[in-house]
Amino acid sequence: MEIGCCGCFGFSFAKKHKKDLRPRVEGGNHVLQGLLNEEVEEDDDEEEEDNNSYCDIMTETEREDHEEFRDPRKSSQEILEYRTENGMICREFPVKETHKVIRSEDEDGNKMVNEYVRECKIGSGSYGKVVLYRSLVDGKHYAIKAFHKSHLIKLRVAPSETAMTDVLREVLIMKMLDHPNIVNLVEVIDDPNTDRFYMVLEYVKGQWVFEGAGPPGGLGETVARSYLRDIVSGLMYLHSHNIVHGDIKPDNLLVSATGTVKIGDFSVSQVFEDENDELRRSPGTPVFTAPECCLGQNYHGKTADIWAVGVTLYCMIFGQYPFLGDTLQDTYDKIVNNTLSLPEDMNPLLKNLIEGLLCKDPMQRMTLEAVSLHPWVMGDDGPIPQYLCWCKRNKSSREESNGNKTDAMSNTN
Protein backbone atom coordinates (compact mmCIF):
# COMPACT_ATOMS: atom_id res chain seq x y z
CA MET A 1 0.00 0.00 0.00
CA GLU A 2 1.34 3.44 -0.93
CA ILE A 3 0.41 6.46 1.12
CA GLY A 4 1.58 9.99 0.40
CA CYS A 5 2.69 12.46 3.01
CA CYS A 6 -0.63 14.35 3.04
CA GLY A 7 -1.47 12.51 6.25
CA CYS A 8 1.41 14.31 7.87
CA PHE A 9 0.10 17.77 7.14
CA GLY A 10 -3.38 17.94 8.58
CA PHE A 11 -5.14 16.83 5.41
CA SER A 12 -7.44 13.84 5.16
CA PHE A 13 -7.57 11.32 2.35
CA ALA A 14 -10.37 11.55 -0.18
CA LYS A 15 -13.28 9.35 0.84
CA LYS A 16 -12.91 7.04 -2.11
CA HIS A 17 -9.44 6.12 -0.75
CA LYS A 18 -10.50 6.20 2.87
CA LYS A 19 -9.12 3.59 5.21
CA ASP A 20 -9.35 3.86 8.97
CA LEU A 21 -5.80 3.56 10.27
CA ARG A 22 -6.55 4.75 13.78
CA PRO A 23 -6.32 2.30 16.65
CA ARG A 24 -9.34 0.16 17.32
CA VAL A 25 -11.02 0.66 20.67
CA GLU A 26 -13.68 -1.23 22.56
CA GLY A 27 -17.12 -0.29 21.36
CA GLY A 28 -15.88 0.65 17.90
CA ASN A 29 -14.43 3.83 16.43
CA HIS A 30 -17.63 5.88 16.50
CA VAL A 31 -16.51 7.54 19.74
CA LEU A 32 -13.40 8.88 18.07
CA GLN A 33 -15.19 10.76 15.34
CA GLY A 34 -16.07 13.70 17.56
CA LEU A 35 -12.56 13.84 18.99
CA LEU A 36 -10.47 13.75 15.84
CA ASN A 37 -10.39 15.99 12.79
CA GLU A 38 -13.32 15.53 10.43
CA GLU A 39 -12.56 14.51 6.88
CA VAL A 40 -13.40 16.97 4.13
CA GLU A 41 -14.15 15.86 0.58
CA GLU A 42 -13.77 18.42 -2.16
CA ASP A 43 -13.84 18.66 -5.93
CA ASP A 44 -10.84 17.13 -7.66
CA ASP A 45 -9.91 20.34 -9.46
CA GLU A 46 -10.94 23.23 -7.25
CA GLU A 47 -10.42 23.77 -3.54
CA GLU A 48 -13.59 23.87 -1.52
CA GLU A 49 -14.44 27.17 0.11
CA ASP A 50 -14.93 26.69 3.82
CA ASN A 51 -17.81 28.88 4.95
CA ASN A 52 -17.37 27.94 8.59
CA SER A 53 -14.30 29.94 9.55
CA TYR A 54 -12.87 28.84 12.88
CA CYS A 55 -13.61 32.02 14.78
CA ASP A 56 -17.23 32.09 13.63
CA ILE A 57 -17.92 29.08 15.87
CA MET A 58 -15.70 29.95 18.85
CA THR A 59 -16.82 31.64 22.04
CA GLU A 60 -15.04 34.83 23.13
CA THR A 61 -13.10 32.87 25.77
CA GLU A 62 -12.01 30.31 23.21
CA ARG A 63 -10.93 33.07 20.86
CA GLU A 64 -8.79 34.62 23.59
CA ASP A 65 -7.28 31.23 24.46
CA HIS A 66 -6.59 30.46 20.83
CA GLU A 67 -5.02 33.86 20.22
CA GLU A 68 -2.84 33.52 23.30
CA PHE A 69 -1.58 30.14 22.13
CA ARG A 70 -0.85 31.44 18.69
CA ASP A 71 0.87 34.66 19.71
CA PRO A 72 3.11 34.07 22.76
CA ARG A 73 5.19 37.17 23.48
CA LYS A 74 6.93 37.86 20.17
CA SER A 75 5.06 35.94 17.46
CA SER A 76 6.49 32.81 15.91
CA GLN A 77 6.52 34.54 12.55
CA GLU A 78 8.66 37.42 13.85
CA ILE A 79 11.13 34.97 15.42
CA LEU A 80 11.28 32.87 12.27
CA GLU A 81 11.81 35.89 10.04
CA TYR A 82 14.63 37.09 12.31
CA ARG A 83 16.29 33.67 12.24
CA THR A 84 15.96 33.46 8.46
CA GLU A 85 17.38 36.97 7.91
CA ASN A 86 20.35 36.17 10.15
CA GLY A 87 21.13 32.79 8.63
CA MET A 88 19.98 30.88 11.73
CA ILE A 89 18.62 27.93 9.77
CA CYS A 90 19.61 24.27 9.58
CA ARG A 91 19.79 23.95 5.82
CA GLU A 92 23.08 23.99 4.04
CA PHE A 93 21.10 24.87 0.93
CA PRO A 94 17.89 26.94 1.21
CA VAL A 95 14.45 25.82 0.05
CA LYS A 96 13.95 26.66 -3.61
CA GLU A 97 11.66 29.65 -4.13
CA THR A 98 9.88 30.07 -7.45
CA HIS A 99 7.89 33.20 -8.30
CA LYS A 100 6.42 32.11 -11.61
CA VAL A 101 3.57 29.63 -12.08
CA ILE A 102 3.06 28.07 -15.48
CA ARG A 103 -0.02 25.86 -15.66
CA SER A 104 -0.07 23.63 -18.73
CA GLU A 105 -0.60 20.05 -19.94
CA ASP A 106 1.80 17.35 -21.09
CA GLU A 107 1.43 15.43 -24.35
CA ASP A 108 -0.96 12.99 -22.66
CA GLY A 109 -3.25 15.75 -21.42
CA ASN A 110 -2.10 15.54 -17.79
CA LYS A 111 -2.17 18.86 -15.94
CA MET A 112 1.18 20.42 -15.10
CA VAL A 113 2.45 23.06 -12.67
CA ASN A 114 5.85 24.22 -13.90
CA GLU A 115 8.01 21.05 -14.15
CA TYR A 116 5.57 18.87 -12.21
CA VAL A 117 3.08 16.52 -13.90
CA ARG A 118 -0.11 15.81 -11.97
CA GLU A 119 -0.88 12.16 -11.17
CA CYS A 120 -3.66 12.09 -8.56
CA LYS A 121 -5.11 13.88 -5.57
CA ILE A 122 -4.04 12.21 -2.35
CA GLY A 123 -5.54 14.48 0.29
CA SER A 124 -7.78 17.44 1.04
CA GLY A 125 -8.65 19.88 3.77
CA SER A 126 -10.31 23.21 4.46
CA TYR A 127 -7.22 25.18 3.39
CA GLY A 128 -6.47 23.36 0.15
CA LYS A 129 -5.52 19.98 -1.25
CA VAL A 130 -2.51 17.71 -1.61
CA VAL A 131 -1.74 16.22 -5.01
CA LEU A 132 0.86 13.69 -6.12
CA TYR A 133 3.07 15.07 -8.88
CA ARG A 134 6.07 13.73 -10.79
CA SER A 135 8.96 16.01 -11.70
CA LEU A 136 10.08 15.98 -15.34
CA VAL A 137 13.51 17.18 -14.17
CA ASP A 138 14.51 14.40 -11.76
CA GLY A 139 11.67 11.89 -12.30
CA LYS A 140 10.85 11.83 -8.57
CA HIS A 141 7.40 12.04 -6.99
CA TYR A 142 6.44 14.97 -4.79
CA ALA A 143 3.40 15.77 -2.68
CA ILE A 144 2.29 19.30 -3.50
CA LYS A 145 0.00 21.28 -1.21
CA ALA A 146 -2.04 23.68 -3.34
CA PHE A 147 -3.82 26.77 -2.00
CA HIS A 148 -5.83 29.75 -3.19
CA LYS A 149 -4.35 32.83 -1.50
CA SER A 150 -7.67 34.67 -1.69
CA HIS A 151 -9.30 31.84 0.27
CA LEU A 152 -6.55 31.83 2.91
CA ILE A 153 -6.83 35.57 3.42
CA LYS A 154 -10.62 35.44 3.87
CA LEU A 155 -10.55 32.51 6.30
CA ARG A 156 -10.10 33.98 9.79
CA VAL A 157 -8.69 31.61 12.41
CA ALA A 158 -8.21 34.14 15.23
CA PRO A 159 -9.17 37.79 15.83
CA SER A 160 -5.95 39.07 14.28
CA GLU A 161 -4.95 36.12 12.11
CA THR A 162 -6.13 34.41 8.94
CA ALA A 163 -5.39 31.01 7.47
CA MET A 164 -2.65 32.72 5.48
CA THR A 165 -0.88 33.36 8.79
CA ASP A 166 -1.02 29.62 9.53
CA VAL A 167 0.35 28.65 6.14
CA LEU A 168 3.13 31.25 6.18
CA ARG A 169 4.22 30.16 9.65
CA GLU A 170 4.26 26.51 8.55
CA VAL A 171 6.36 27.47 5.50
CA LEU A 172 8.80 29.51 7.60
CA ILE A 173 9.23 26.66 10.09
CA MET A 174 9.80 24.09 7.37
CA LYS A 175 12.29 26.37 5.60
CA MET A 176 14.45 26.17 8.72
CA LEU A 177 14.41 22.42 9.21
CA ASP A 178 16.69 19.72 7.89
CA HIS A 179 16.57 16.41 9.73
CA PRO A 180 16.17 12.77 8.61
CA ASN A 181 13.08 12.40 10.82
CA ILE A 182 11.31 15.53 9.58
CA VAL A 183 9.32 15.66 6.31
CA ASN A 184 11.27 17.90 3.95
CA LEU A 185 10.00 21.03 2.20
CA VAL A 186 11.58 21.10 -1.26
CA GLU A 187 10.17 24.18 -2.97
CA VAL A 188 7.71 27.04 -2.51
CA ILE A 189 5.94 28.31 -5.62
CA ASP A 190 4.33 31.71 -5.14
CA ASP A 191 3.57 33.83 -8.18
CA PRO A 192 2.53 37.38 -7.13
CA ASN A 193 0.48 37.66 -10.31
CA THR A 194 -1.70 34.62 -9.63
CA ASP A 195 -3.93 33.39 -6.84
CA ARG A 196 -2.14 30.03 -6.63
CA PHE A 197 0.34 29.06 -3.92
CA TYR A 198 2.15 25.72 -3.71
CA MET A 199 4.31 23.86 -1.19
CA VAL A 200 6.35 21.10 -2.83
CA LEU A 201 7.01 18.42 -0.22
CA GLU A 202 9.02 15.25 -0.02
CA TYR A 203 6.75 12.34 -0.94
CA VAL A 204 7.05 9.69 1.74
CA LYS A 205 5.97 6.38 0.27
CA GLY A 206 5.07 4.10 3.15
CA GLN A 207 2.50 3.97 5.90
CA TRP A 208 1.32 5.65 9.09
CA VAL A 209 2.72 4.34 12.35
CA PHE A 210 -0.76 2.97 13.15
CA GLU A 211 -0.91 0.73 10.09
CA GLY A 212 -1.34 -2.81 11.37
CA ALA A 213 -1.91 -1.67 14.95
CA GLY A 214 -4.81 -2.94 17.01
CA PRO A 215 -5.62 -5.17 19.96
CA PRO A 216 -4.32 -7.36 21.28
CA GLY A 217 -0.73 -6.96 20.16
CA GLY A 218 -0.34 -3.50 18.65
CA LEU A 219 2.83 -3.17 16.59
CA GLY A 220 5.03 -5.21 18.88
CA GLU A 221 7.92 -3.95 20.96
CA THR A 222 10.60 -4.22 18.28
CA VAL A 223 8.76 -2.09 15.72
CA ALA A 224 7.46 0.34 18.36
CA ARG A 225 11.01 0.82 19.69
CA SER A 226 12.34 1.58 16.21
CA TYR A 227 9.54 4.08 15.54
CA LEU A 228 9.93 5.70 18.96
CA ARG A 229 13.66 6.24 18.47
CA ASP A 230 12.95 8.15 15.24
CA ILE A 231 10.16 10.18 16.82
CA VAL A 232 12.32 11.15 19.80
CA SER A 233 15.27 12.01 17.55
CA GLY A 234 13.13 14.35 15.43
CA LEU A 235 11.45 15.92 18.45
CA MET A 236 14.75 16.46 20.28
CA TYR A 237 15.93 18.30 17.18
CA LEU A 238 12.83 20.51 17.17
CA HIS A 239 13.02 21.26 20.90
CA SER A 240 16.72 22.09 20.67
CA HIS A 241 15.68 24.85 18.24
CA ASN A 242 12.90 26.01 20.60
CA ILE A 243 10.16 24.69 18.32
CA VAL A 244 7.10 23.10 19.94
CA HIS A 245 5.29 20.80 17.54
CA GLY A 246 1.92 20.97 19.31
CA ASP A 247 0.25 17.99 17.64
CA ILE A 248 2.37 14.86 17.95
CA LYS A 249 0.18 11.86 17.12
CA PRO A 250 0.39 8.80 14.84
CA ASP A 251 -1.53 10.52 12.04
CA ASN A 252 1.30 13.07 11.82
CA LEU A 253 4.04 10.42 11.81
CA LEU A 254 4.72 8.76 8.48
CA VAL A 255 6.86 5.68 7.97
CA SER A 256 8.93 5.59 4.80
CA ALA A 257 9.44 2.49 2.67
CA THR A 258 12.73 1.92 4.50
CA GLY A 259 11.04 2.08 7.93
CA THR A 260 12.14 5.60 8.90
CA VAL A 261 9.55 7.70 10.75
CA LYS A 262 9.21 11.33 9.67
CA ILE A 263 7.35 14.01 11.64
CA GLY A 264 5.05 16.29 9.68
CA ASP A 265 2.22 18.82 10.09
CA PHE A 266 3.58 22.03 11.60
CA SER A 267 0.27 23.87 11.22
CA VAL A 268 -0.10 24.50 14.97
CA SER A 269 3.60 24.59 15.86
CA GLN A 270 5.13 27.49 17.76
CA VAL A 271 8.64 28.91 17.90
CA PHE A 272 10.20 30.60 20.92
CA GLU A 273 13.13 32.99 21.35
CA ASP A 274 14.53 31.04 24.29
CA GLU A 275 13.78 28.15 26.64
CA ASN A 276 10.62 29.83 27.92
CA ASP A 277 8.03 27.76 26.04
CA GLU A 278 5.02 28.73 28.13
CA LEU A 279 1.64 28.50 26.43
CA ARG A 280 -1.95 28.53 27.58
CA ARG A 281 -4.11 26.25 25.50
CA SER A 282 -3.21 23.75 22.80
CA PRO A 283 -5.28 23.38 19.61
CA GLY A 284 -3.91 19.85 19.15
CA THR A 285 -5.87 16.58 19.10
CA PRO A 286 -7.86 15.99 22.35
CA VAL A 287 -6.89 12.37 23.08
CA PHE A 288 -3.20 13.35 22.89
CA THR A 289 -3.62 16.41 25.11
CA ALA A 290 -1.55 16.59 28.32
CA PRO A 291 -3.39 16.91 31.66
CA GLU A 292 -2.07 20.42 32.29
CA CYS A 293 -3.46 21.53 28.92
CA CYS A 294 -6.94 20.22 29.76
CA LEU A 295 -7.17 22.55 32.77
CA GLY A 296 -6.96 25.77 30.74
CA GLN A 297 -3.89 26.87 32.68
CA ASN A 298 -0.48 27.95 31.45
CA TYR A 299 1.72 25.03 30.53
CA HIS A 300 5.04 24.30 28.83
CA GLY A 301 4.83 23.21 25.22
CA LYS A 302 7.81 20.84 25.27
CA THR A 303 6.51 18.78 28.18
CA ALA A 304 3.11 18.63 26.48
CA ASP A 305 4.82 17.27 23.35
CA ILE A 306 6.46 14.60 25.53
CA TRP A 307 3.07 13.53 26.92
CA ALA A 308 1.83 13.15 23.34
CA VAL A 309 4.85 10.93 22.62
CA GLY A 310 3.77 8.78 25.58
CA VAL A 311 0.22 8.47 24.25
CA THR A 312 1.62 7.57 20.83
CA LEU A 313 3.84 4.85 22.33
CA TYR A 314 0.88 3.49 24.30
CA CYS A 315 -1.14 3.35 21.08
CA MET A 316 1.65 1.59 19.21
CA ILE A 317 1.97 -1.03 21.96
CA PHE A 318 -1.70 -1.61 22.82
CA GLY A 319 -3.57 -0.37 19.73
CA GLN A 320 -5.83 1.89 21.79
CA TYR A 321 -5.78 5.18 23.70
CA PRO A 322 -4.83 5.31 27.39
CA PHE A 323 -7.62 7.80 28.20
CA LEU A 324 -10.78 7.97 26.11
CA GLY A 325 -14.27 9.05 27.16
CA ASP A 326 -17.67 9.07 25.51
CA THR A 327 -17.54 12.85 25.08
CA LEU A 328 -14.84 15.46 24.72
CA GLN A 329 -15.25 16.62 28.33
CA ASP A 330 -15.28 13.03 29.56
CA THR A 331 -12.02 12.43 27.72
CA TYR A 332 -10.44 15.50 29.34
CA ASP A 333 -11.70 14.40 32.77
CA LYS A 334 -10.12 10.97 32.34
CA ILE A 335 -6.82 12.44 31.17
CA VAL A 336 -6.69 14.63 34.28
CA ASN A 337 -8.10 12.27 36.91
CA ASN A 338 -7.87 8.61 35.89
CA THR A 339 -4.94 6.45 36.93
CA LEU A 340 -2.87 4.99 34.10
CA SER A 341 -3.67 1.28 33.79
CA LEU A 342 -0.99 -1.08 32.51
CA PRO A 343 -0.94 -4.91 32.43
CA GLU A 344 0.84 -6.55 35.35
CA ASP A 345 2.73 -8.97 33.11
CA MET A 346 4.13 -6.43 30.62
CA ASN A 347 7.84 -5.79 30.13
CA PRO A 348 8.88 -3.91 33.31
CA LEU A 349 11.27 -1.64 31.39
CA LEU A 350 8.55 -0.67 28.91
CA LYS A 351 6.11 -0.17 31.77
CA ASN A 352 8.59 2.16 33.49
CA LEU A 353 9.04 4.15 30.27
CA ILE A 354 5.32 4.61 29.61
CA GLU A 355 4.72 5.61 33.23
CA GLY A 356 7.51 8.18 32.95
CA LEU A 357 6.13 9.65 29.73
CA LEU A 358 2.52 9.67 30.96
CA CYS A 359 3.31 11.19 34.33
CA LYS A 360 0.49 13.64 35.03
CA ASP A 361 2.82 16.06 36.84
CA PRO A 362 4.72 17.87 34.06
CA MET A 363 7.53 18.69 36.47
CA GLN A 364 8.11 14.98 37.10
CA ARG A 365 7.53 13.85 33.53
CA MET A 366 10.43 12.16 31.79
CA THR A 367 12.56 14.38 29.54
CA LEU A 368 13.46 13.46 25.97
CA GLU A 369 17.10 13.19 27.00
CA ALA A 370 16.14 10.64 29.65
CA VAL A 371 14.02 8.78 27.11
CA SER A 372 16.95 8.57 24.70
CA LEU A 373 19.03 6.87 27.44
CA HIS A 374 16.27 4.62 28.77
CA PRO A 375 17.22 0.90 28.73
CA TRP A 376 14.11 -0.12 26.79
CA VAL A 377 14.70 2.58 24.16
CA MET A 378 18.39 1.78 23.79
CA GLY A 379 17.78 -1.96 23.46
CA ASP A 380 20.62 -3.42 21.42
CA ASP A 381 21.20 -0.16 19.52
CA GLY A 382 22.45 2.04 22.35
CA PRO A 383 21.53 5.70 22.97
CA ILE A 384 19.69 7.63 20.27
CA PRO A 385 22.39 9.41 18.22
CA GLN A 386 22.59 13.17 18.65
CA TYR A 387 22.00 14.86 15.30
CA LEU A 388 24.46 17.68 14.62
CA CYS A 389 22.53 20.00 12.32
CA TRP A 390 24.01 22.52 9.92
CA CYS A 391 23.43 25.59 12.11
CA LYS A 392 25.03 23.92 15.15
CA ARG A 393 27.99 22.79 13.03
CA ASN A 394 28.38 26.38 11.84
CA LYS A 395 28.17 27.66 15.41
CA SER A 396 30.80 25.19 16.58
CA SER A 397 33.05 26.17 13.67
CA ARG A 398 32.69 29.87 14.47
CA GLU A 399 33.40 29.29 18.15
CA GLU A 400 36.43 27.17 17.30
CA SER A 401 37.66 29.81 14.85
CA ASN A 402 37.21 32.59 17.39
CA GLY A 403 38.99 30.49 19.99
CA ASN A 404 41.95 29.97 17.68
CA LYS A 405 42.12 33.70 16.98
CA THR A 406 42.09 34.45 20.72
CA ASP A 407 44.86 31.92 21.32
CA ALA A 408 46.91 33.40 18.49
CA MET A 409 46.54 36.91 19.89
CA SER A 410 47.52 35.69 23.38
CA ASN A 411 50.63 33.97 22.01
CA THR A 412 51.56 37.15 20.09
CA ASN A 413 51.24 39.25 23.22
Catalytically active residues, by annotation: 247
Count H helices, E strands: the chain? 12, 17
Q: Is 405 annotated as a binding residue?
A: no
For the chain, helix, strand, coil in percent to 5 are 40, 20, 45
Geometric angle at alpha carbon 9, from 123 and 167, rounded to 5°: 105
Interatomic CA distance for residues 34 and 409, integer angstroms: 67
SS3 letters across 54-66: HHHHCCHHHHHHH
Rg (CA), the chain: 22
* 314, 318, 320, 321: CA torsion to nearest 10: -20
Q: What is 136-151 written as a DSSP string?
A: TTT--EEEEEEEEHHH
- One-letter amino acid at 364 equals Q
Burial class (CB in 10 A: 0-12, 13-18, 19+), 48: middle
Residue partners of 287: CB distance under 8 A and separation at least 6: 32, 35, 36, 311, 321, 323, 324, 331
Binding-site sequence positions for ATP: 145
